[in-house]
Structure 1
Amino acid sequence: MAVTVRADALLIEGTWTRGESEPITVLDKYHLTPVGTFASASAEQATRLIAAADAAFRQSTQTPYDRGAVLDRAAALVEARAADFVAAMQAEAGFTRSDAAGEVARCVQTLKLSAEEARRLAGEVVPIAGAPRQAGRFAFTLRVPLGVVLAITPFNSPLNTVAHKVGPALAAGNAVVLKPASATPLSAILLCEALVAAGVPAGMLSLVHSKGSVTAGLLDDPRVRFFAFTGSTEVGRTIQRAAGLRRTQMELGSIAFTILCDDADLAKALPKVAGAGYRKAGQVCTSVQMLLVHRSIADAVERRLAPLVAALVAGDPHDPATEVGPVISLKEAERIDAWIAEALARGARRLVGGARRGALVPPTLLAGIDTEMRVGCCEIFGPVVCVLPFDTLDEAIARVNATPYGLASGIFTNRLLDALKAAERLEVGGVHINETSSSRVDLMPYGGSKESGFGREGPRYTLHEMTEERIVTIATQ
């Protein structure tokens, strides 16, 4: 299916508008050929867009029911145009048909969950009469929207991560300015089309494509009251500095570990590891990069996991048989390839892998790595899984906690006490027992600790972050 990039790719005051600044060219990530080009926003357009969002927020009369109805309609429209979204992500992100279809299905659920949360967002009764000398007074809290939310989204989840920021923001009654990744803007454009068609009021949703100084201007504008960002830790620090006292939600870098204890059921664990390590070509913050394996089963894991990885079909994401597509750019593919070569030169063993073809890095399984290699101490963000042995669970937990990151970890064990020890001691935002680090359901809280950021995605949890609690008291005598 052909993908068309609309020239009027900015959404300002409910109207699709052409950009006035430098061009952005979207590439097919496998063929490395242009899909289309459109202009980014000028500084004047960005300023006008923020002003329109602020004005729309202050004038909005939508009820929680109205907001829920819009999001439900948008979910239905996304579902009806699933083929368009899949085609867009196959081209712009290099996703396989399966990965793209999964992204669409999850986006639909995220919008529906946001609709539900819009209708039941509420404060609570405060038992003020239980305090001394407060007879005749009542108190309750309201949850009120913050204002303009700036959502900055990544290339590796160009639809569902957008929905996780835009859906809850609109559900809470905020106005949203969306800036998608320049490498993958098509899905965001299609989603905004669905939301506008579903009835989002003019100005309550804006779409901007920008670079450099224009983006800096968006960050510095005091009318933006909340920043929702998913991306690298380095960029997250820049946004946090610009935010000052304004609120932020940061989902940043990670080195994701999954632990296989000596009692792990390998028949169940290893297929999950293969799936979690290589879906979206390993470009997921929670993709299994480090597989910590008890030394007593290390040989068996290498012997049984290698053929599962070798069987993965890597190639053109437009081919229905493909299971692993290209990474986001030729530059990133060259970096990943260089890291693999460095590890091999320093003594690592390549159990599965092969030569890079353009932006396509074959699924790679390494053993014998150490923390002096970049694959052992940095986030690789590619289709590479490293097998490391450990002797005790305490050693494995310490290895996970030694990194500056803390997004999610998985552990496979049938010993309850070991599972609970890991849950209590792993310094991460999520611990998944008998699942991989990449286990996620869209209604649950999702986020990290340390340099993996803070704040939580998941519509119910994001709604609370994108609102503030207001206390109301009433004296009756």
Structure 2
Amino acid sequence: MTIHSPYDNNELARVACADNEDALRAISSAQSAFARYRHQPSKDRARLLQDTARLVESRQESFACTISMETGKPITAARKEVRRCINTLNLAAEEAIRLVGETIRFDSFEGGEQRVGYYEHVPLGVVVAITPFNDPLNLAAHKLGPALAAGNTVVLKPSQQAPLSALQLVRALVDCGLEPGKVNVLTGYARDFGNTMVGHKDVAMVTYTGGEASAEVIAKNAGIKKLAMELGANSPVIVMDDCDIERAVEACVSGSYSAVGQNCIGVQRIYVHRNVYDTFRAKFVRQTRQLKVGDPLLDDTDLGPMIHEREAIRIENWVKEAVHSGANLLVGGVRNGACYHPTALDNVAQDQNLTCHEAFGPVVSLYPFDSVDNAIALANQADYAIHGAVFTSNINTAHKVSRELDVAGVMVNDSTDYRLDAMPFGGARRGSMGREGVRFAIKEMTQTKVMCINLAN
């Protein structure tokens, strides 16, 4: 299959298309490698990840250019993703030697007085990892790093739209001494081998980041095995009238349009207190108009193309539907091929796609509110969420919103798209299917094993 640049449609590379036989070979390879390396010392696993982090750092401009060319992400944002990948690998290396259990007090119950023991965390086995296009390098690192740190082996399926960054990362692992069979990569179309890959009896876990429709197919076909899924969001922000408006506007503009809005924790709905609504809206529109759309390889580009023209057309249609139903177009609404200009609306009806579903594009909706309780109720209407945010100078308000927003993380005086790679990360409500964040992902990718010794005689 040919990988094209979403910006100018130039051919970037050709990659193999796997089939069911390839999937079976990959799983067999991973299973054999797990049998060989499951008891490998943690220092060796840590060293591989540390060495790979250093090698990625030495090649960071090459990695950034690959990300930018295959996804359309602006080069400045691509460089940031490479730095995050390096951090993710180093975190995984550190956690590889911190993965410890505890002793158990068997004498806490009658009959256990002569027993001692402990539990430890042991690897699951073969992990199937499926990654999306929007952070093609760092999200691959978030699967591979914890899996290898824990002692598992992996079958990796990178996004069909953007597989090159993941392939480049695996090449770095190989260059640093990755043992044969530990990581096996299947590129191509998931429809050709996906069910075989996720449903195989020798696969212990499937970890997936992507859309809900594919998640349902995976869950249906996986059978009895561990699943971890991050399925996107519809992120709300609440802006109180006592906040630093300039700071709130700057953070919300960045959070709305970073990565062309193709970000599962990007800002999608902004609820602004009526006392400052007009001021916030005017400043937000003014800053949005200043953003530059164009060639992602240029340092001064703020927004490149979406991953494919059909995605830009989808956003264009959603915006037109909202305007037709009474919404006000404040800025943007312009499409040039796969490039969709940063767009903001207000007066968007609650039943519109832009409100009800994950937009995953450079469009945001603004709403005024009178009471914080009303804002929280509106923010919680989405069926799934990862992060929410509140801008306020009142600590009591910050605590109230953090307690009552039905999300997995609340950012106070920050955009919803802030993420530290060390923190727990995942969905809430319908999207709650395990946690990423290196230490937490490692726990998902292991199981406890108890040893109990009877000292009676």
TM-score (normalizing by structure 1): 0.93
**1:43 and 1:27 mapped to 2: Cα distance?**
25
For residues 242-287 of structure 1, what are the alpha-carbon distances to aligned partners after superposition, in whole Å with 9 as ceiling and x for unaligned? 2232111110021111110121211211111111110100000010
**In 2, Cα distance between the equivalents of 1:245 and 1:358?**
44
CA contact (8 A) 2:15 2:188 kept: no
Partner residue, 1:63: 41
> What's the counterpart of residue 299 of structure 2?
320
Contact persistence 2:232–2:427 (CA under 8 A): no
Contact 1:138 1:475 in 2 (8 A): yes
Q: Provide the C-alpha distance between the structure 1 equivalents of 2:380 and 2:285, rounded to a whole number of angstroms.
A: 27
Map of 2:93 onto structure 1: 115
2:450 corresponds to which residue? Answer: 471
Inter-partner Cα distance in structure 2 for 1:425 and 1:195: 43
Aligned to 2:394: 415
Does the alignment pair 1:194 with 2:179? Answer: no
Task: Name the aligned partner's letter for residue 304 of structure 2.
Answer: G
Deviation track 1:353-409 (CA, whole Å, cap 9, x = no partner) reads: 142100000011111111122112111110111111111111111112211112110
* 2:192 pairs with 1:218: no
Q: Identity over aligned residues, as a percent?
A: 38
1:394 — aligned with what? Answer: 373
Map 1:190-339 to 2 at 5 A.
190-211=168-189, 212-339=191-318
Q: Paired residue for 1:182, among 144, 160, 173?
A: 160
Give, as a single letter, the amino acid of the residue that structure 2 aligns with 1:369. Answer: V
Shift in Å at residue 328 of structure 1?
0.6
| Residue in 2 that maps onto 1:135 | 113
1:220 is displaced (CA, Å) by 1.4
Runs of at least 5 residues in structure 2 that lack an aligned partner in the other structure: none
Which residue of structure 2 aligns with residue 16 of structure 1?
none
Residue deviations 1:132-175, cap 9 Å, x none? 22112112101000000000000111010110111000000000
* Superposed structure 1 runs of 4+ greater than 3 Å apart: none
Change (3 A) 1:210 1:223: farther
Deviations 1:28-57 (A, max 9, x none): 011022212222113212211110100100
Q: Does structure 1 conserve the Cα–Cα contact (< 8 Å) formed by 2:422 and 2:437? A: yes
SS at match of 2:307: coil
Displacement, 1:83?
A: 1.2
Q: Which amino acid aligns with 2:326?
A: G
Q: Which of 381, 395, 414 is matched with 1:435 structurally? A: 414
- Deviation digits for residues 334-370 of structure 1, max 9, x if unmatched? 1111111111222211211142100000011111111
Write the letter of the residue equivalent to 2:273: H
Letter in 2 for 1:307: R
Which residue in 2 is equivalent to 1:344? Answer: 323
Give how far 1:453 is off: 3.3
- Which stretch of structure 1 is more off in the superposition, 166-175 or 258-267? 258-267
Deviates more, 1:438-447 or 1:131-140: 131-140
Aligned to 1:100: 78
1:127 is displaced (CA, Å) by 1.5
TM-score by length of 2: 0.97
Report what 2:12 is aligned to: 35
Partner of 1:20: none
> Which residue in the other structure is 2:25 paired with?
48
Match for 1:389: what amino acid?
P
Matched, 1:169 2:143: no
AA partner of residue 362 (structure 2): P
Counterpart CA distance in 2 for 1:452 and 1:283 is 18
Specify the code of the residue in structure 2 equivalent to 1:383.
P
| Structure 2 counterpart SS, 1:120 | coil
Alignment correspondent of 1:83: 61
Q: Could you say if the C-alpha distance between residues 169 and 162 of structure 1 is closer, same or farther in structure 2, counting changes exceeding 3 Å?
A: same
Contact 2:263 2:360 in 1 (8 A): yes
- Structure 2 Cα separation of the partners of residues 452 and 301 of structure 1: 31
Task: Indicate conservation of the 8 Å contact 2:208/2:230, yes or no.
Answer: yes
CA contact (8 A) 2:195 2:222 kept: no
Distance 2:349 2:241 in 1: 21
RMSD: 1.1
- Tell me by how many angstroms 1:439 deviates: 1.4
1:436 maps to a residue whose letter is: S
2:434 paired residue among 420, 440, 455: 455
Q: Say whether residues 1:72 and 2:50 are aligned partners.
A: yes
Instruction: Give me the whole-angstrom Cα distance separating, in 2, the residues matched to 1:46 and 1:243.
Output: 14
Offset at 1:241? 1.9
Structure 1 unaligned segments of length 5 or more: list them.
1-23
Residue 254 of structure 1: SS of its match in structure 2? coil
**In structure 2, which of residues 92, 113, 122 is the aligned counterpart of residue 144 of structure 1?**
122
Instruction: Report deviation, 1:69.
Output: 0.2
**Residues of 1 paired with 2:296 and 2:44: CA distance?**
39
The answer (yes or no) to whether the contact 1:253–1:451 under 8 Å persists in 2 is no
Contact 1:233/1:451 (<8 A) preserved: no
Give, as a single letter, the amino acid of the residue that structure 2 aligns with 1:328: I
**Match for 1:92: what amino acid?**
E
Please state whether the residue corresponding to 1:206 is helix, strand or coil.
strand
